[in-house]
Amino acid sequence: MQGNAFFKAFRFKLYALRLEHSASKKRMKMTEEEQIDLEALKKDPEFQENLKLLEKEMKSHRSIARGYQLLDAKLLMEAPEEEIDEIFTFIVQEAFDRLAQMLSEGRKFEMSDPEQWATARAIYEHGIQRYSENDLKGAKEIFLVLYYLITEEELRDAMMIHAAAVMAGHDFESFIENLADVKNINPNDATAFFITSFVQPNDILLQMFAKEVAEGKDLLHKMEEHSKSNEE
């Protein structure tokens, strides 16, 4: 199914979960005529030129948002995995370059800005990938940094819940099956690529993980102090 194709291409279980809830259902409803149109689109010279233009703009503007637009189009067209990997690599590298700059300048994410939203999404998805591959230290650090840089309360709390779950010993499967509420993902919600719904309200989970939350905040405080000492 299409969700498995996402997982194979990106090794992002989040993509597979989201797609099973939305895109796979839409694909099942496609008529035979629409399927033929999709095949015709793959051979449409104008469409292919538009993809080339989008890729050029992505690279010239170093645009992660355009990168995701190109990525979505390539996935729809079932492009070769090498092409998908190339776009994905660009997105991740650009996102972490921006992350390093933000940390050094003391800036926070402005999620209403499409580029900054796309940057946060790329970093989050990389954290999910780390988590799914059992790199718990790497995943924890990414989720904590996102908590530190995101100002929207609901999304910020969700990132702390992610980090706390890792610190409490939940592996990725346990997190998805026992904590995350992935059944109620709204495919029309712009934040649907972030897991923000859980089986318990955020405040209850943050209380339940009080020890881990305190540990995470302490780690962030030490990071902040270390950064200040380096500036001096």
Question: String of b and e for 194-206 (b: at least 16 CB within 10 Å)?
Answer: bbbbbeeebeebb
If DSSP states are collapsed to H, E and C, what string results for 76-144? HCCCCHHHHHHHHHHHHHHHHHHHHHHHHHCCCCCCCCHHHHHHHHHHHHHHHHHHHCCCHHHHHHHHH
CA distance 70 to 76: 10
How many domains is the chain partitioned into structurally?
A: 1
Give the pLDDT score at 3.
Answer: 33
pLDDT digits over 157-186, tens only? 999 999 999 999 999 999 999 999 977 666
Q: Which residue has the higher pLDDT, 107 or 16?
A: 107
- CA pseudo-torsion sign 141, 184, 8, 62: negative
pLDDT band at 213 (very low <50, low <70, confident <90, very high): very high
Q: Would 150 be classed as within a structural domain?
A: yes
Q: Would 206 be classed as within a structural domain?
A: yes
11: left (phi over 0), alpha (psi -120 to 50) or beta: left
If DSSP states are collapsed to H, E and C, what string results for 191-214? CCCCCCCECCCHHHHHHHCHHHHH
CA distance 176 to 23: 19
Q: Would 225 be classed as within a structural domain?
A: yes
Alpha-carbon separation of residue 104 from 111, 149, 223 (angstroms): 19, 12, 12
Cα–Cα–Cα angle for 48, 80, 116, rounded to 5 degrees? 75
**What does the pLDDT average to over 6-26?**
43
Q: Would 185 be classed as within a structural domain?
A: yes
Q: Would 227 be classed as within a structural domain?
A: yes
Q: Would 38 be classed as within a structural domain?
A: no
Highest average pLDDT, of 2-16, 38-52, 194-208, comes from: 194-208
pLDDT digits over 103-115, tens only? 989 999 999 999 9
Residue 151: domain span = 108-232
Report the DSSP beta bridge partners of residue 180. 198
Q: Would 190 be classed as within a structural domain?
A: yes
Q: Would 122 be classed as within a structural domain?
A: yes
Does the pLDDT at position 15 exceed 60?
no
**What does the pLDDT average to over 40-54?**
84
pLDDT digits over 78-104, tens only? 888 899 999 999 999 999 999 999 998
